[in-house]
Amino acid sequence: MNRVETQRSMDLKYGVLILPALSVFALVGCGDIDPWSEMSKVSSSPPSSFVGPPDTGGQTRVTSPSVSEFKDQRLTLVQCIQIALERNPQTVSSWYMARAAAARVGQAKSAYLPTVGFVSSAVRGDSGQMDNKPDLSVRNTFDAVFGVRYLLFDGGGRDALVQGVAAELLAANFRHNTVLQDIALAVEESYYDLLAAQRLSDLAIETVRQRESHVQIAEARYKIGIVAKSDVLKAQTEKADADLGLVQVENAVRITRGRLANTMGLHISESFEIVDVSEDVHRLELADIESLLDEAARNRPELRAALAQIEAQRAGVKTAEARFWPAVSSILDFGWEGRSFFPGREQWNVGVGLDIPLFTGFDRTYQVHRAKSDLAKAVADRQNLLRGEELEVWTAYSRIIESSQAIDAATKYVASAEESARVAEGEYKNGTGSIIGLIDAQTARTAARTRLIQANLDWHMSMARFERAVGRTLAAMENFAKQRDKP
């Protein structure tokens, strides 16, 4: 063999070794690829809810306006929910948990593909015998081997593992939906708290004006000798008390606005206003309680996550039982061995491997016991969750009925107090009534208006918790909230 042929032979061997290795390294280095498309089985972004298979229903994606679009703006309830779903860190955390579960599905499916490895070594030592010639000297030995392994049979453990992590992915997606609905509920509660605080602030301002008017009337009547100095002092005392009440409710507005901003994922001092809601929505009709319980059982994301967890534990039992079966794998090795840096002696192996664990210290036995216990616990946990959520629906349903009746009673209370205050004001101006009677009537009117504001707040709170209890999707919540946001 001449020099050119020798060089070509070496180049060929070099290429056979290096090019496949580079291909393998390139494939391994692609950490962002998704060959099984498992990452697409998670919602598209943190504020997006998971859309399940057609038979399990789904929810819609909501987006948020940017900061410049809602700063110093009047935000509706729907806009506040959208901003919260976009910016609240809890949604980001639960979304990445779902993505991690999706990655575990892809990781489990890797067992369906062969594994390819490249092993190379360089050793120095007593090589013993090579090429049927005794060689007791210390020499260098080089080898390079490509190996392919493929699992042929493992008693169904591979299938059970994939089924288990797929069920866990479904559970993680529904847990993400739970986080979204919990955040939406928290926004609604903070929103209505702020509305109530603002209404109480307006009422406090009106009360201060009324008390100031009383002071002026008492002072005028005192100057002309119709009433005693005690009337002026009493009116001034009530005015000071009203001023103190105004300070307290204005601070409550500031605190509740900060709480709403925090729930929305905004800076605590973010400046924005919110849109008021109608006070007539408590006339809405509700479905019968049995259909509502059925709706909750079908739609609550916690229950659907619990069902998926049961399937994951059932697959865990199959995985544990599969360990009692032997594992059969096919083996293919091809490489080179020699004393030079580019070894020239080819070697290959083809065969079948059999792995039969004969005794593992009862590890497999207790793994099956544990898996079956975990399955039984998952079933019991779902049943307990179902009972608790039925009670939650029943309580929320009853609260709506109570708050509707409370609004009717408070409306009559306000009408009566308004008339009493009007009469007391007229009598005091005409000189037939006392300052004490006037103040008592005014106090009763303020209390009645406060009760009505609180009753309306309670209804809105009850409806928000009712929607959450029956597992309404974010799309349904959005449509319902739009109706309530109409002036």
Could you read off the pLDDT of 45-70 as tens digits, one per residue? Answer: 666 667 665 544 433 334 444 444 55
Q: Is residue 100 in some structural domain?
A: yes
Q: What is the mean pLDDT of residues 146-154?
A: 92
Identify which of 155-164, 282-291, 329-338 has the greatest average pLDDT. Answer: 155-164
Closest C-alpha to 481, from 121, 206, 191, 269: 191
Contacts of 383-386 spanning 24+ positions with Cβ under 8 A: 385/302, 385/303, 385/306, 386/297, 386/303
Tens of pLDDT, residues 441-483: 988 999 999 999 999 889 989 988 998 999 876 655 555 455 5
Neighbours of 30 (CB within 10 A): 9
Report the pLDDT value the prediction gives residue 17, as an integer from 0 to 100.
44
For the chain, the C-alpha Rg in angstroms (whole number) is 38
The DSSP code for 281 is G
Cα dist from 52 to 25, 87, 305, 446, whole Å: 37, 24, 11, 51
Q: What is the mean pLDDT of residues 364-374?
A: 94
The CATH code of the domain that includes 108 is: 1.20.1600.10
Q: Is residue 290 in some structural domain?
A: yes
Copy the structure tokens of residue 445. Answer: 């009117």
Report the pLDDT value the prediction gives residue 74, as an integer from 0 to 100.
87
Report the pLDDT value the prediction gives residue 27, as an integer from 0 to 100.
45
Which single residue is written with the structure tokens 């090429």? 131
Q: Is residue 314 in some structural domain?
A: yes
Q: What is the mean pLDDT of residues 403-411?
A: 91
Which single residue is written with the structure tokens 């929910």? 81
Q: Is residue 22 in some structural domain?
A: no
* Beta-carbon-side half-sphere exposure of residue 406 (alpha carbons within 13 Å): 20
Report the pLDDT value the prediction gives residue 231, as an integer from 0 to 100.
85
Q: Is residue 18 in some structural domain?
A: no
Beta carbons within 8 Å of 310's beta carbon, 6+ residues apart: 375, 378, 379, 382
Phi-psi region at 92: left, alpha or beta (left = phi > 0; alpha = psi -120 to 50): alpha
Asked if residue 386 lies in contact with residue 297, where contact means CB atoms within 8 angstroms, the answer is yes
Backbone phi and psi for residue 62, each to the nearest 5 degrees, phi listed first: -120, 145
For residue 201, what are the domain limits? Answer: 28-113+156-325+363-485
Report the pLDDT value the prediction gives residue 57, as an integer from 0 to 100.
40
The mean pLDDT of the chain is 82
Rounded CA gap, 232 and 238, in Å? 10
Report the pLDDT value the prediction gives residue 22, as an integer from 0 to 100.
40
Position with higher pLDDT, 484 vs 299: 299
Confidence check: pLDDT of 382 > 60: yes
Confidence check: pLDDT of 9 > 70: no
Tens of pLDDT, residues 395-406: 999 998 899 899
Tens of pLDDT, residues 66-94: 444 556 778 989 889 989 998 889 999 99
Report the pLDDT value the prediction gives residue 58, as an integer from 0 to 100.
38
Confidence check: pLDDT of 16 > 60: no
Q: What percent of the chain has pLDDT over 90?
A: 45
Q: Is residue 11 in some structural domain?
A: no
Q: Is residue 72 in some structural domain?
A: yes
Q: Is residue 351 in some structural domain?
A: no
CA 265: distance to chain centroid? 14
- Tell me how many domains the chain contains: 1
Report the pLDDT value the prediction gives residue 51, as an integer from 0 to 100.
63
Report the pLDDT value the prediction gives residue 451, as an integer from 0 to 100.
93
Copy the structure tokens of residue 180. Answer: 């979204």
Rounded CA gap, 331 and 147, in Å? 7
Q: What percent of the chain has pLDDT over 70?
A: 78
- 153 strand-pairing partners: 328
Least confident window among 40-44, 112-116, 241-245, 456-460: 40-44
Position with higher pLDDT, 100 vs 287: 100
Least confident window among 197-206, 218-227, 418-427, 462-471: 218-227
Residue 188: its H or E element: helix 157-223
Confidence category of residue 410, pLDDT binned at 50, 70, 90: very high
Confidence check: pLDDT of 100 > 90: yes
